[in-house]
Chain A
Amino acid sequence: MTKSYLSLELIDKTFERGGTRTEVLKQVSLTVEKGEFISIIGHSGCGKSTLLNIVAGLTQATTGVVLLDGKVVDEPGPDRAVVFQNHSLLPWLTVYENVRLAVDKVFSATRNKQERHEWTMRNLELVQMAHAADKRPSEVSGGMKQRVGIARALAMEPKVLLLDEPFGALDALTRAHLQDQVMQIHATLGNTVLMITHDVDEAVLLSDRIVMMTNGPSARIGEVLDVPLVRPRRRIELASDRTYLKCREAVLKFLYERHRFVEAAE
């Protein structure tokens, strides 16, 4: 049996508050190969963010285990860099300093000052934010902040990049632009990526596989869809592509026919 790069094995997560137990995730198992781009899609409240937090190590699974590159994940670490939904840049640091903080922490022993500076700038260039290196997060747009968040995560050279609805708070045009950028970075660096999203087009456009979650409580993986589209992908050409439309339809059917969002479940 060949071992997968990242594997989630029988993850259960139960929250307990004031004597009432809520089972959020039930028996979630998933394997991800190196270099794969995986999207996790589901209605809000289905526990997809919880799942990502478990992989990140920010939340502990009640039972089950996450293995990354043969090692058990039990605490957060820079090998699983997270791009948070609301960018989470530190507002008192400049764009450069935000990335540099991560670089200094991760490479304190292995790279000297000059190398760390160059590495910080290289990652800012990768997301085309080098020109705003000395600005504070409050001085740049939402899309730019998210790009810095991505640069910070990439700069840690993570084994797996975790994206928690990274473009959810952005307008459609900025979002499309950032999606293209993420695709390009993925093509260049070959990162392993796990992305949470609730945007069907985004999932189909970016992913190699789409993991569809059933509604909570006790959410599980309902279906995993392969997206056999060749890369590089271009959104305009895909708009009328048969495979693209079929994948899109499959996800839509899953979300809106078989697992419709029930308001009462919230």
Chain B
Amino acid sequence: MSVTNLKLKPQATLQPSAQVIALGHTMKPGIDRRLSRLAAQTATNLLPLLVTLTLFTLAWQLICASPDSSLPAPSRVFEESWELIAHPFYTGQGVDQGLFWHVLASLQRVALGYAMAAAVGVALGTLVGQSALAMRGLDPIFQVLRTVPPLAWLPLSLAAFQDGNPSAIFVIFITAIWPIIINTAVGIRNIPQDYQNVARVLRLNGLEYFAKIMLPAAAPYIFTGLRIGIGLSWLAIVAAEMLIGGVGIGFFIWDAWNSSLISDIIVALIYVGIVGFLLDRIIALIGRAITRGTASA
């Protein structure tokens, strides 16, 4: 029964709901109910989205339909940027690359900067959360520095690194680190006294306490910080790349603007949005997998 089930499930998601219910009659009642519930669930989740997307596209089409509109309608975007949409893996000379490669270059910068921010952020957050002295010494500095807009760091880092790429990575680092530090510190400070007592009765040493109590107890907070951090990183990289140039989705958008390719900009924006959404979801998923059970005792 489970084999049939496995085979049928993916089908169910692809087919329209009416057909699934019709199929159900020939099957065992258990599978039937599960399939129709799955179809109903998919329908309730996706239908409203499809409706709003259609309405939005229609409205956009109507508003921008006239030939002297300053922004292209969806139909014109498809027409003008078809090359771009159809060939994301195109490789050409210099910055003349498919969108996939631009996004990949941006993701590489984000990955580097973000990984450093995560490592340093969790370490600093632990320090600030653990020690009242470190908290008094460092927290005011963090609170001031975190309000500095990401791009304001760029000239300074360009001056320091004398190169675009490390500067962009530094901007990602400095953007993502604050929410990671602050949330980690809150998580560490909020470790229930009970867990500390358990650790004391068991006489866990510093390292055991860190690995077995502190990290897992603070993990939900840490992942909140990491999730905010990845969002900010992706916001910052587009802006930073506009200024540093080279391959990257930010520079691609800027380049398209300079060449008056408004349709290309729209396609790139859709890419940016979807990638940002996926990044957020990936961190959320990792967080949920690691912190399972922790939220409720």
Give the B-binding residues of A (Cβ under 8 A): 56-58, 75-78, 80-82, 84, 86, 88-92, 101-102, 105-106, 136-138, 156
Q: Mark B123-152, 1 if CB is under 8 A from A, else 0.
A: 000000000000000000000000000000
Shortest CB distance B205–A (Å)? 10
Q: Does B216 contact A (CB under 8 A)?
A: yes
The reply to whether B203 and A105 contact each other, CB–CB distance below 8 Å, is yes
- Tell whether B195 is near chain A: CB-to-CB under 8 Å: yes
B14 near A: Cβ within 8 Å? no
- Does B204 count as interface, using CB distance less than 8 angstroms? yes
B212 at the interface (CB under 8 A from A): yes
A51 and B255 alpha carbons, distance in the complex (Å)? 73
How far is B200's CA from A91's CA once the two chains are assembled, in angstroms?
A: 17
Q: 17 A–B contact pairs at CB < 8 A?
A: A56-B201, A58-B200, A58-B201, A75-B200, A77-B201, A77-B203, A78-B202, A82-B197, A88-B195, A90-B212, A91-B294, A91-B296, A92-B291, A101-B212, A137-B293, A138-B293, A138-B296
- Taking CB as reference atom, which chain A residue is nearest B192? A88
Q: Are A92 and B216 in contact (CB under 8 A)?
A: yes
Pick the 7 closest A-B CB pairs, nearest first: A88-B194, A76-B200, A92-B216, A136-B293, A91-B297, A76-B201, A105-B202
CA distance A105 to B205 in the complex (A): 10
- Does B242 count as interface, using CB distance less than 8 angstroms? no
**A138 contact set on B, CB distance < 8 A:** 293, 296-297
**How far in angstroms is the closest Cβ of chain A from B139?**
23
Query: At the interface, is chain B mostly helix, strand, loop or mixed?
Result: helix
Known A-B contacts: A77-B203, A84-B197, A89-B297. Give 12 more (CB < 8 A).
A58-B197, A58-B201, A81-B201, A84-B194, A88-B192, A90-B213, A90-B216, A90-B217, A91-B297, A92-B217, A92-B219, A92-B291
Chain A-chain B contacts (Cβ-Cβ < 8 Å), number: 62
Whether, in the assembled complex, B274 has its beta carbon less than 8 Å from a beta carbon of chain A, the answer is: no
Whether B197 and A106, one on each chain, are in contact in the complex, defined by CB atoms closer than 8 angstroms, is: no
Q: Report the bound CA distance from A138 to B292 in whole Å.
A: 10
Determine if B213 and A106 form an interchain contact, defined as CB atoms under 8 angstroms apart: no
Q: Which residue of B lies closest to A88 (CB)?
A: B194
B194 proximity list for chain A (CB < 8 A): 84, 86, 88
CA distance A92 to B197 in the complex (A): 16
Whether the pair B201, A92 counts as a contact (CB closer than 8 A) is: no
User: How many angstroms between the C-alpha atoms of A196 and B200 in the bound complex?
Assistant: 20
Cβ B198 vs Cβ A88 within 8 A? yes
CB neighbours of B200 from chain A (8 A)? 57-58, 75-76
CB within 8 Å of A: which B174-203 residues: 192, 194-195, 197-198, 200-203
**C-alpha spacing A86/B294, complex, angstroms:** 16
Q: Does A90 contact B202, Cβ atoms closer than 8 Å?
A: no
| List of A residues within 8 angstroms of B203 by Cβ | 76-78, 105
Q: Contacts of A81 on B, CB cut-off 8 Å? A: 201
Which chain A residues border B216 with CB–CB below 8 Å?
90, 92
Contact of A80 with B201 in the complex, beta carbons under 8 Å: yes
Residue of A nearest to B293 (CB): A136
CB proximity of B151 to chain A, nearest CB, Å = 39
With both chains docked as a complex, state the minimum distance between the C-beta of A22 and any C-beta of chain B, in angstroms: 19
Q: Which chain A positions have C-beta within 8 A of B198?
A: 84, 88, 90
CA distance A84 to B58 in the complex (A): 62
Query: Out of A58, A86, A91, A105, which one reaches B204, CB within 8 Å?
Result: A105
